[in-house]
Amino acid sequence: MPEEQEIETEKLHEAIHEEMEKEGGAFLRSIALTTGVLAAVGAIAALMAGSTANEALVLKTEATQLQAQASDQWEYYQAKGLKMAIAQATAAPWQAAGKPVPSDLAEKVTKYQQEQDSIKQNAEGKEKERDQRSLEADHLMHAHHHYANAVALLQVAIALGALAALTRARALWFSSMAVGAAGVVLFGMQLLG
8 assigned to some structural domain: no
pLDDT tens for 50-96 read: 999 999 999 999 999 999 999 999 999 999 999 999 999 998 898 88
5 assigned to some structural domain: no
Q: How many domains does the chain have?
A: 1
Phi-psi bin for 102: left (phi > 0), alpha (psi -120 to 50), beta?
A: beta
Inter-residue contact 159 to 180 (CB < 8 Å): no
Print the domain residue range for 120: 40-192
Rg (C-alpha) for the chain, rounded Å, is: 37
How many other CB atoms sit within 10 Å of the CB of residue 73? 20
7 assigned to some structural domain: no
pLDDT tens for 127-173 read: 999 999 999 999 999 999 999 999 999 999 999 999 999 988 999 99
83 assigned to some structural domain: yes
How many other CB atoms sit within 10 Å of the CB of residue 76? 16
22 assigned to some structural domain: no
135 assigned to some structural domain: yes
Query: Mean pLDDT across the stretch 175-190?
Result: 96
181 assigned to some structural domain: yes
72 assigned to some structural domain: yes
